[in-house]
Structure 1
Amino acid sequence: MTAWSHTQGASPGGAKESSQGLRAAAQNLRQMARVAQDPAMAERLNRAADTYTARADKRAAAEAADRRTVPNA
């Protein structure tokens, strides 16, 4: 299973990922970092998790803005 499997197949540059999916991917990366045998690999996984968390924050802000601008149907 890849780290981003919980984002419904989304990959960098792909369709918009949900903020929840990005957070799940970040959590998976952090779990993999905790059990990594190689400290350099753990560091890379943690940096990737930080990137996914930042993307999740930006996406959550965009989702909130979308909810404010779309009239109720």
Structure 2
Amino acid sequence: MADFSARTEKLMRYWTSGPGAAKIAWGTPGDFDRCVKELSEHVGPGIVKGLCSNLHQRALGVRPGQEHKD
């Protein structure tokens, strides 16, 4: 189980601060949609939006659409 957790963490870092993050360009318009497009190649349609929401939260500290809220 520890190996699974380590691999999961590595993937999360890839998509939030590594080369995957550069593809998504977090913090710029359309980042969530780019995430869905990129990750749809790797995960199923039933989880991709939730995963991208979690990645957005991790990368930017807010959920999608909340970047400019007070």
Structure with bigger RCO (C-alpha 8 Å, 6+ apart) = 1
TM-score normalised by structure 2 residue count: 0.35
TM-score normalised by structure 1 residue count: 0.34
Larger proportion of helix: 1
Pair member with larger Rg: 1
